[in-house]
Structures are given as C-alpha cells and as structure tokens.
Amino acid sequence: MKLVKNAAGRLIPEEIDGRKLLPFQGAFADPIYHQNRRKYAPPIPRTHPEWLTGEKKLCANLEDAIKKSGLQSGMTISFHHHLRNGDFVVNMVLEACEKLGIKDLTLAPTALFPVHKPVIDFIKRGVVKNIQGSMNGPVGEFVSYGGLPTTAILRTHGGRVRAIEDGDLHIDVAFIAAPCADDYGNANGVYGPSACGPLAYSYVDAMYADKVVVITDNLVEYPCLPISIPSTNVDYVAVVDRIGDPEGIMSGTLRITKSPTRLHIAKLAAQFIHESPYYRDGFSFQTGAGGISLAVTKFLGEYMEEDGVQASFINGGITKFSVELFKKGIVRKLFDGQVFDPVAIRSFRDDIWHQETPMTMYANIHSKGCLVNRQDIGFLGATEVDVDFNVNVNTHSDGLLLHGIGGHTDVAAGAQLAMIVVPSYRKRIPVIRKSVTTITTPGETIDVIVTERGIAINPLRKDLVEHFKNSTLPIKDIHEIHKEVMKICGGEPEPPKTTDRIIALIEYRDGTIIDVVKQVAR
Amino acid sequence: MKLVKNAAGRLIPEEIDGRKLLPFQGAFADPIYHQNRRKYAPPIPRTHPEWLTGEKKLCANLEDAIKKSGLQSGMTISFHHHLRNGDFVVNMVLEACEKLGIKDLTLAPTALFPVHKPVIDFIKRGVVKNIQGSMNGPVGEFVSYGGLPTTAILRTHGGRVRAIEDGDLHIDVAFIAAPCADDYGNANGVYGPSACGPLAYSYVDAMYADKVVVITDNLVEYPCLPISIPSTNVDYVAVVDRIGDPEGIMSGTLRITKSPTRLHIAKLAAQFIHESPYYRDGFSFQTGAGGISLAVTKFLGEYMEEDGVQASFINGGITKFSVELFKKGIVRKLFDGQVFDPVAIRSFRDDIWHQETPMTMYANIHSKGCLVNRQDIGFLGATEVDVDFNVNVNTHSDGLLLHGIGGHTDVAAGAQLAMIVVPSYRKRIPVIRKSVTTITTPGETIDVIVTERGIAINPLRKDLVEHFKNSTLPIKDIHEIHKEVMKICGGEPEPPKTTDRIIALIEYRDGTIIDVVKQVAR
C-alpha cells in the first residue's frame, strides 16, 4: 500500500477498499470543489394518486417496506441518531434484513450509540460489511480491534452531507425513524411518545437516497405538520410498536459540571470570550451538551445579562440552558440540529424563532453558505490536543476509536474563535500532547485552548495574541502547558499498540483524508 | 414542420426552436419517467467564511449583483410572482441587464402580470428573446400577435418545477424578490413593507439555478427567520429601494361574486360536493381567489358548520375566507403556495398549522408524493370547456393568450373530484363548446362541470353517474347543456383568425405538449 504524507503530516494510503483517497491539503484547500464536479442526481421518481393506482405508501409492516424498497445484499442503508441511546430502529431494520436474507450491507448512520451493540453480531453474521458513520462506544471498540472486514469511514456532520450531496456516499435505502408521521411520509420529531425534536440529520438522506422508508410509532392523520421530512421524498411508511425509549432519547442527566477544575476552565473560557473582540451585541456562539460546555454557556449568559449584551443566535445542540437564555431574551434566536432534553423539544416545537437546521444548512462546505461560517464563537471538547493545536475527538490515547466527530471540525473551520475547553490531563493521562493519536480537526482551525493550567492562543492568530497581551488571564505558550503536563503525568503515554491494518479513515469535511486509525492489537 | 396528433387530438410539431417535442400521451402516461432519466445536477458550489476570505454576498447594488452572477447574453433568468401586479423586480432587473449590454435573455418567471407591460419593450429592443412562464394580460396579448421572436412555453405550477428538477428548464440566474432577507441570503415573505406571504414559487429556482440573487427592500439582521429561501442556496444579495407596491401585491378587491347566476352556480357546486361520497369528516379541498370559487368555499363552509364536519386541509391560494374557516376550526390545516390578502399573510406568519408549500410539494408529478394527489375536491375555473370535458384556461375564443395555467392541470389530475365551476356563456360567447380553442387540461382528468344550466358528470366517472342518479340536482348530459348554449348564443363563435406560426406551447405537467397556440392575425 503506497502512503502519502498529507498536509497535516499524517501518512494516508493512496487507495483503500478500491476507493482512491485524496489526502488532506489544508483546511480550506477543498480539492473536490476544484474538480468542477456536479452534485449527485437521484433518479427521477413519480407518483400518481393512490385513488387512481391503489398503490399505497403505507406498508403492512417493516419487512414489507424493506421488500418494496428493493433493498439487496451489498447495498447501503442509512439512519439518523436523533433517538440517540434510545433508538430501536437500527437494530430492528438489521434484524428484518437478516430475516429476509439480505447481507453485506454498508451502514451509513449519522451515529451509533451503546444501544446499537447488537450491530457487532450483525457484523459477525455477515449482515453488515461496512460502516460509514460515527460509532460511539462498543461498536467503535469492536471495530478498533479489527472486527469489521472493511475500512470504516468517519465524517463530520458537514462532511457527511457533503459526501451525500456530492455523490461520494450513495444511499440505496434511507430508514428514517419518525416520532410523528402520516401515511404519505410527511414526518416530524415533535409529537408522540418518542419525540426527539428535529429530524435534521435525515433531511439530506431523504433528498438523495434512491428509496426512503419512514418508520413511525405514531401515525397521524394526513397531513402531518410541521413537516421536517416531506412526503415528496418518501417512498414507503411502516408502523412499528415503538421506535425508541424516551429514557435513552433524552440525555436526562444533563448537568453543569460540579468538578472545581472544570468549573475553573469554564470560567476562564467565559472570561476569555468576554475580553475578546467578538463579545458584542449580536454576536453568536455554539454550545454543546458536555459538562464544561454547559458551564461556559452559563457563565457567558451571566456576563451578557450583566452587560445587557444579546447574542443574535446560538447554534446547537440545544439544551434547556440555551432555551433559558432564549426565553430571558439574552439570545434572540436558536438554530437546532438536535435537542437534548424535553424543555428544548417544547421550545423547538412552539417557538417560531427556534429553527430546525438541516445539516447542509448547519455545516456543508459545498453549500452556498452554512451556519458555522457565521458563528463568532464555538467552544469544543477533545480527547487530546497537541502543541500544533491539532485536536483528536475520535480515539483515546490507547488507540481505541470510541467517539464520532459531530460538528467539531465544521465549527472549528467556520467560527471566528474556535476554542477548545479541556482539562490538561485526565486520570494522569495527558490531554495536551506533543502529537495527538488521531487528528480529527486540524490545528490551523483552532484558535485557543483553554485548560485549568492556562490559555494557549494559536500563534497563527497574531491578532488575538496582540489583543490579549495585557490581559490578566493566564495566557501561556502551548509548549509551556505541555511541559507542565508532562511533569505531572510523567511523560507522554505509551503509543497505542497497533497492527499495520487501517480500520478507519478520518475524512475531513471537504472529502479529503486527514488521518487513519489502525487496528489495536489485543 | 412535421406534425403529430397527440392523445388529446391536437397537432403538435415534432420539433420547435431546436427542441424535440414529446406529444401528450394521456394524463398519466408520463413518458419522461419511463426514459429512466436522473434529476438535474447543479454544479458543486462552496463557501468559506467571510471573515476568512473577505468575500461578501451583499453587493453594492443590483447591477453589481448581476455582474458578479456572471449573467451573459443568451442565458435564462427566473422570477417568482408572489408580488403579483405589484412586482417591481422583473422590470428592474431587465433594465439593469440592458444597461449592462446583456441581451437575448430567456425569461422564466412563474407568471407575468399587467405591471410587466414594459417587458414588451425589452422584447422589442432585444433584451428578451424567449418567455417560459405564464403571461397574464398585455405581454400575453403581445406574444399572441407574434411579438416574441421565439416560441413561448406555458407550464403548470407542477410542470414548471418538474421541468427545472428534471433539467428541461435550466436557469442560469434566479432573481428572488424577498420582502425580508439577511446579508447571507436567508429570506422570507412575511415581514416588511412588501410582505407577500410564502416564497414558495422560488424554492425550486433557488435549489437548481446556477446562481441565485436575492433582491430585498428590507435587509434584517442575520439570521432572518423564518427561512423560506435558505442561505445555502443563495450567491448574492442586493438591496433596492422598493421591490413592490403593496396595492398591487394584495388583490384587495377579493370578494365573493354578487352575480345571481354565479351565486347559483356556486350553490349547485356546494350542493353537489355535499351529496358526493367525498364529503365526510377529514376531507380536503382546494380553493382559488375567483368570485365563484370564493362563493363555493363559503357555501361549503356553511354546510360543514351545520353538519359538524371538519376538513383536514385546504390547499390554496389562501384567502381570508379560508383563514376564517381555519380559525373557526372547520378546517384543521392550511397549505399555502400563495396568499391573496393581509389576513392570510398574518395567519401564514403566525399559525403553525398554516404551512408553506414549495411547488414540488404542491404538484410535482416527478416527486414521491405531492399535495394535489391527496386532495379530495378541487373547484376550478375555465375560459372554455368542451363536450369532451377538455378545459381551456389560457386563451379566449378569439385566440388571444391572456392567462397562465397556475395549478389548474395539476389539481385536475390529482383531486378525486375535479370540478369546473363556470357560467355556460359569457357576454353571449359560449363557454361550453364543441371543442375548446386551446386544451390546457385534458378532459379525462375533469369529473364534473357545474353551470347555471345544470351539472354534467364526465361519463368516464361511472361511479359518480351512479351515485347521483337519484339526486334532485339538475344533472344533465354535457351535450344537452351545449345544445342549449348554442341556441342562446347562436352557434359556435368564429374560429380565431390565426397564421400558421406557433407562438406558444402548452406543456402538460409531465413535460409533453398538449396543445399549441397560433399567432393571431391582426
């Protein structure tokens, strides 16, 4: 296998599983755009009225829908993860496929969760051959040890929608779990026992998949409003008992960190933002659902309330904490790709200025203008960060691939101030490292790293370095923080013991390969 | 020119202006679908953040936006008609194009109105070479007399979106008049001095045009919500003084007919619906803004209120009369492609169950399921109807092309009960004829014609004939009504005096040609 060093310094094979790879060429190089290609063109469909043809979209059951969809062995099927760790649909569809004798499938979910552990058995039994999507937890671990017979592909939220729209990820059949749907396929996520808020992840699947099956446990009278997924993109509808478990759908345990170290990090981050040139009326930011991120949101909200400063919007993952700022009038609008709690669902359902964000609107570099490009500030997490500001969110330092990318890389590229908020080490394992195990997000798109030991500004951001030169904040050189961490942790951890086999590609948002993940040796 | 007789019995040339024509083959034959083609694939675009590149979508003025769009002579530009007879944008863009020396343009508006009379001069001066879109009034008359150097194409709402999605109508630059927009191109029609409600006609243009320019007189802070046109589809934004005149945007004079004959027709229509098998809780219908249509809505609403029957939805063109039924709870939901008055705009803006309907959702035969397919009843107008139930909405009996198609043909094909409500003659000119001057909508899709002289059921609808055989309604054979009309009017009118030149094609919703319009001799 011939390897090429990419612009992030990682060795990338020229080809894998028969696919020619483009090595990463820099955060904004975007070689696919320069190939002057066209978007993927789905086949022209048609429908006549049911009263004329007798053909109904509503199927007898899930198996019937799968049969009618024409799904065959070797094809690609897709799913969204709005039901998170409460999703019943991925396992249910794979079970039905196995019953129907369909195998060698490529799974293209937006993300898998611990609830999808049975996917491991479907892989072992040959029902699933490849995964292109985030794998949180057990499936990721299984793949890390070489369990998948092919190479997995991990993409950002923006990168996945790009791949679909550009025709690099072709979906034969999209299965869309819908908390509320009608018999013509109009669907939303805001009503019913499995309510999950937006269905934003699936919007692109519905538009570009050859066939689309909506699976619901809450069939309502036509027309189902509001419409997140329109009937114009749906071929079949199947009703099942339950699509999900509300306990697993809602994070439930969402709470602001209580760790003094993490609260300290969040305070430093909020203070940095407060002193930055981006803090002004009408600024915007993105929050996540992590404990530190929630704390930053809280502290930032306190500053804003005190200063009488309003944000124009929060780009989320929306939580009750964001909704609170919105209801108080501190934040004028909310953009929402996924919600994390019932308060956020209700706000999403009822507030006109709490807007659903299909992923192309959220983060597609190959759109004419996505949301992350308009964000002032994004605070993001990491498993590791290195002295070149590269960020790893996928693997741990033992090499295990346990997390997806989400919108991390997209936000880092788009936001004017991309900020990593992390402890400098966790359980004696350094987070700040000389070189990250896996590069998820290139250092050139990260502006600031905030740790409990100090704040490192990327030297590429001369303007920020200058702006903060008289600040009382603990601004430090990243190498200095790294040195302190090395002292505490007793040096860099052992490199992961891996074989030569590449088990996963980390695809940058523009479709190039920024890094590979190797099989962990047992 | 070789002519072929199509399935509606009309002679269609094999080719015109270098385009091979498919003759109409029946309302549901859909030959393009059977060619196994794919949808149009626009070029892959990209954007980087403005803070990185300094490239802004917001242009200095309209000319600047046109220049940046790359518009050249010979290209196709498109417009929506939500501003109706108050639109300033078509004339404004053509003026700017002329200034820039751009000529031979193809106009692809959804519709032109009397306010667009200056288009005649742009045609004369060579700025406009072709029109593909509805021409209401003076431009239609000018084209009828041979004023356009090429053949115009008229399409239904569903047919236009089909043509764009299927790649038969390629738009180089779409100009979207936006009553409310931000500097990134997110736009809606619900706020500002030129508020017009939905921007549903332009949704497909924004998705498929190579370049998209949003023109607004009401630039608001990013992000502009709600989003009818998303920033992901917009290249440039231009701010102008005024995009329209509210007087012309709103019909204003909307009122239920006062003519006793027309009220009688409306009563018969409502009574027919009331006795039909489709009248039941949860049924649906489409209304228009014409005087008879409004009266049918009113009378039907009275029946529903009395019977305690609710409709699941109205598919509109929404007026205050529909909103009234909605507010009273007689109609559960409203679908809205365009609004006609301020009451409807407010409802569209504020009511979650008053839903915007992009044209592909409204009526695209090449979607996986559009709204007209789910309509029980549509009541429609006509300039002429013939004994084969063919309908003309485009020309008058003198051959002048004065009206667009709108959704007429789409609704007729989709609705279970497609009903024409017309007086049997107007000013001694027969409406019920042996053969219509121009076929817009094929007779096989029309179920009932309601006139003041009686109600004719299409004999193809044996079920309806049977259902109404004991009705006290004046059910008559269409030939009988025709005979009466001939007696009153003294026979069929003179056929229009035309030359052999074809000045317009009437394209059926599936992309075939159902009829042609010939040049009227002076």
Q: Specify the CATH number for the domain of residue A116.
A: 3.40.1080.10
Residue A469: CB atoms within 10 A of its CB come to: 9
* Distance of alpha carbon A385 from alpha carbon A175, whole angstroms: 36
* Distance of alpha carbon A170 from alpha carbon A163, whole angstroms: 8
* Distance of alpha carbon B126 from alpha carbon B103, whole angstroms: 6
The pLDDT confidence band at residue B32, using thresholds 50, 70 and 90, is very high
Largest CA distance in chain B: 77
pLDDT for B316? 82
* CB neighbour list of residue B19: distance below 8 Å, 6 or more residues apart: none
Question: What integer is the mean pLDDT of A475-489?
Answer: 98
Q: In sequence order, what DSSP letters do the residues of B225-294 get, joined into one string?
A: SS-SB-GGG--EEEE-S-SB-HHHHS---------HHHHHHHHHHHHHHHHSTT-STTEEEE--SSHHHH
Inter-chain CB proximity A223 and B33 less than 8 Å:
no
Locate A294 and state its tokens: 């929630």
pLDDT at A252 over 90: no
* CB neighbour list of residue B407: distance below 8 Å, 6 or more residues apart: B156, B157, B158, B286, B337, B362, B363, B372
Q: Last residue of some domain: B204, B220, B248?
A: B248
Question: What integer is the mean pLDDT of B18-45?
Answer: 97
**Is the CA virtual torsion A29, A32, A37, A38 positive or negative?**
negative
Q: Which residue has the tokens 């990090």?
A: A265
How far from chain centre, in Å, is Cα A12? 23
pLDDT for A227? 97
DSSP-assigned beta bridge partners for residue B314 = B285, B334
The pLDDT confidence band at residue A287, using thresholds 50, 70 and 90, is confident
pLDDT for A349? 94
Same domain membership, residue A322 and residue A192: no
Q: Cβ distance A400 to A308 under 8 Å? A: no
Inter-chain CB proximity B233 and A367 less than 8 Å:
yes
How far from chain centre, in Å, is Cα A256? 21
Judged by a CB distance cut-off of 8 A, whether residue A185 touches chain B is: yes
Instruction: Evaluate whether residue B522 is within a structural domain.
Output: no
pLDDT for B252? 54
Q: Cβ distance B439 to B451 under 8 Å? A: no
Q: What percent of chain A has pLDDT over 90?
A: 94
Same domain membership, residue A356 and residue A302: yes
Indicate the range of A145-149, A351-355, B214-218 predicted with least confidence.
A351-355
Whether the bond into A430 is cis, omega within 30 of 0:
no
3-state secondary structure of A147: coil
Largest CA distance in chain A: 77
3-state secondary structure of B303: helix
- Chain B positions touching A226 (Cβ under 8 A) are 352, 355
* Distance of alpha carbon B358 from alpha carbon B335, whole angstroms: 10
Instruction: Evaluate whether residue A15 is within a structural domain.
Output: no
3-state secondary structure of A346: helix
* Distance of alpha carbon A106 from alpha carbon A114, whole angstroms: 19
Inter-chain CB proximity A333 and B225 less than 8 Å:
yes
Q: Using CA coordinates, name the residue in chain B closest to A51.
A: B416
Same domain membership, residue B299 and residue B225: no
Q: Which residue has the tokens 């009263």?
A: A51
Locate A54 and state its tokens: 């007798």
3-state secondary structure of B304: helix
Judged by a CB distance cut-off of 8 A, whether residue B54 touches chain A is: no
Inter-chain CB proximity A52 and B360 less than 8 Å:
no
Q: Which residue has the tokens 């080809």?
A: A15
Estimate the crossing angle of helix A260-275 against helix A291-307, to 10 degrees: 40
Inter-chain CB proximity B41 and A43 less than 8 Å:
no
Which stretches of B61-151 are assigned E, i.e. beta strand? Answer: 76-79, 105-109, 111-112, 128-131, 134-135
What is the per-residue pLDDT across A158-198, written as a single tens digit (0 to 9) for each? 999 999 999 999 999 999 999 999 999 999 999 999 999 99
Inter-chain CB proximity A28 and B48 less than 8 Å:
yes
Side chain identity at B3, as an amino acid letter?
A: L
Same domain membership, residue A409 and residue A275: yes
ipTM of the complex: 0.97
Same domain membership, residue B270 and residue B218: no
How far from chain centre, in Å, is Cα A59? 31
Indicate the range of B89-103, B126-140, B282-296, B447-461 predicted with least confidence.
B282-296
Inter-chain CB proximity B374 and A36 less than 8 Å:
no
The pLDDT confidence band at residue B1, using thresholds 50, 70 and 90, is confident
Q: Taking a contact as any Cβ pair under 8 Å apart, which residues of chain B between 58 and 97 contact chain A?
A: none
Question: What integer is the mean pLDDT of B189-213?
Answer: 97
Of the partner residues B43, B184, B367, the one whose CB lies closest to the CB of residue A369: B184
* Distance of alpha carbon B416 from alpha carbon B315, whole angstroms: 14
Inter-chain CB proximity B44 and A360 less than 8 Å:
no
Locate A409 and state its tokens: 């890389």
Locate A521 and state its tokens: 């040796």
Instruction: Evaluate whether residue B39 is within a structural domain.
Output: no
Question: What integer is the mean pLDDT of A138-144?
Answer: 98
**Counting beta carbons within 10 angstroms of the beta carbon of residue B342, is it exposed (0 to 12), middle (13 to 18) or buried (19 or more)?**
middle
Residue B172 φ/ψ, nearest 5 degrees: -75, -50
Same domain membership, residue B414 and residue B442: yes
pLDDT for B27? 98
The pLDDT confidence band at residue B291, using thresholds 50, 70 and 90, is confident
Question: What integer is the mean pLDDT of B418-433?
Answer: 97
What is the per-residue pLDDT across A392-442, written as a single tens digit (0 to 9) for each? 999 999 999 999 999 999 999 999 999 999 999 999 999 999 999 999 999
Q: Cβ distance B358 to B204 under 8 Å? A: yes
Instruction: Evaluate whether residue A124 is within a structural domain.
Output: yes
Q: Taking a contact as any Cβ pair under 8 Å apart, which residues of chain B between 266 and 285 contact chain A?
A: 282
Instruction: Look at residues A479, A393, A501, A481 and name the one whose alpha carbon lies nearest to residue A440.
Output: A393
The better pLDDT of the pair A256, A483 is held by: A483
Number of domains in chain A: 2
Q: Which of A46, A191, A359 to mutate against chain B (most B CBs within 10 Å)?
A: A46
* Distance of alpha carbon B211 from alpha carbon B236, whole angstroms: 8
Same domain membership, residue A349 and residue A476: yes
Residue A450 φ/ψ, nearest 5 degrees: -110, 120
* Distance of alpha carbon B151 from alpha carbon B311, whole angstroms: 42
Instruction: Evaluate whether residue A345 is within a structural domain.
Output: yes
Instruction: Evaluate whether residue A148 is within a structural domain.
Output: no
pLDDT for B2? 92
The pLDDT confidence band at residue A228, using thresholds 50, 70 and 90, is very high
Indicate the range of A70-84, A474-488, B249-263, B476-490 predicted with least confidence.
B249-263
- Chain A positions touching B444 (Cβ under 8 A) are none
pLDDT at B251 over 80: no
Q: Which of A30, A36, A44 to mutate against chain B (most B CBs within 10 Å)?
A: A44
* Distance of alpha carbon A143 from alpha carbon A149, whole angstroms: 9
Of the partner residues A45, A335, A369, the one whose CB lies closest to the CB of residue B368: A45
pLDDT for A256? 84
Instruction: Look at residues B415, B414, B327, B315 and name the one whose alpha carbon lies nearest to residue B357.
Output: B315
Side chain identity at B105, as an amino acid letter?
A: L
Inter-chain CB proximity B45 and A368 less than 8 Å:
yes
- Chain B positions touching A173 (Cβ under 8 A) are none
Side chain identity at B121, as an amino acid letter?
A: D
Distances (CA, A) of B425 to A95, B154, B271, B378, B480: 65, 25, 22, 21, 14
pLDDT at A138 over 90: yes
Instruction: Evaluate whether residue A253 is within a structural domain.
Output: no
Inter-chain CB proximity B368 and A47 less than 8 Å:
yes
Inter-chain CB proximity B370 and A166 less than 8 Å:
no
Same domain membership, residue A226 and residue A362: no
Q: Using CA coordinates, name the residue in chain A closest to B334.
A: A223
* Distance of alpha carbon B394 from alpha carbon B440, whole angstroms: 7
Q: Using CA coordinates, name the residue in chain A closest to B230.
A: A361
What is the per-residue pLDDT across B129-165, written as a single tens digit (0 to 9) for each? 999 999 999 999 999 999 999 999 999 999 999 999 9
Judged by a CB distance cut-off of 8 A, whether residue A497 touches chain B is: no
Judged by a CB distance cut-off of 8 A, whether residue B212 touches chain A is: yes
* Distance of alpha carbon B480 from alpha carbon B201, whole angstroms: 41
What is the per-residue pLDDT across A2-17, written as a single tens digit (0 to 9) for each? 999 999 999 999 999 9
Inter-chain CB proximity A50 and B373 less than 8 Å:
yes
pLDDT at B457 over 60: yes
Strands B180-181 vs B187-188: parallel, antiparallel or unpaired: antiparallel
Same domain membership, residue A401 and residue A475: yes
Judged by a CB distance cut-off of 8 A, whether residue A43 touches chain B is: yes
Residue A466: CB atoms within 10 A of its CB come to: 10
Q: Cβ distance B254 to B84 under 8 Å? A: no
Instruction: Evaluate whether residue B8 is within a structural domain.
Output: no
* Distance of alpha carbon A282 from alpha carbon A280, whole angstroms: 6
Same domain membership, residue A323 and residue A275: yes
Question: What integer is the mean pLDDT of A122-143?
Answer: 97
pLDDT for A253? 57
Q: Cβ distance B273 to B297 under 8 Å? A: no
- Calculate the dihedral angle through the C-alpha atoms of A347, A349, A351, A357, rounding to the nearest 10 degrees: 90
Of the partner residues A51, A57, A366, the one whose CB lies closest to the CB of residue B45: A366
- Chain A positions touching B222 (Cβ under 8 A) are 312, 374
Of the partner residues B185, B368, B416, the one whose CB lies closest to the CB of residue A231: B368
Same domain membership, residue A285 and residue A242: no
Q: Using CA coordinates, name the residue in chain B closest to A230.
A: B361
Judged by a CB distance cut-off of 8 A, whether residue A409 touches chain B is: no
Q: Cβ distance A516 to A437 under 8 Å? A: no
Percent helix, strand and coil across chain B, each rounded to 5?
30, 25, 45
Q: With residue A174 as reference, give the H or E element that holds it.
A: strand A173-178
Instruction: Look at residues A89, A85, A113 and name the one whose alpha carbon lies nearest to residue A240.
Output: A89
Q: Cβ distance B173 to B205 under 8 Å? A: no
Judged by a CB distance cut-off of 8 A, whether residue B145 touches chain A is: no
The pLDDT confidence band at residue B271, using thresholds 50, 70 and 90, is very high
Q: Last residue of some domain: B210, B227, B248?
A: B248
pLDDT for B257? 86
Inter-chain CB proximity A227 and B355 less than 8 Å:
yes
* Distance of alpha carbon B207 from alpha carbon B230, whole angstroms: 9
* Distance of alpha carbon A493 from alpha carbon A501, whole angstroms: 22
Same domain membership, residue A174 and residue A279: no
Range of the domain at A216: 57-132+169-248
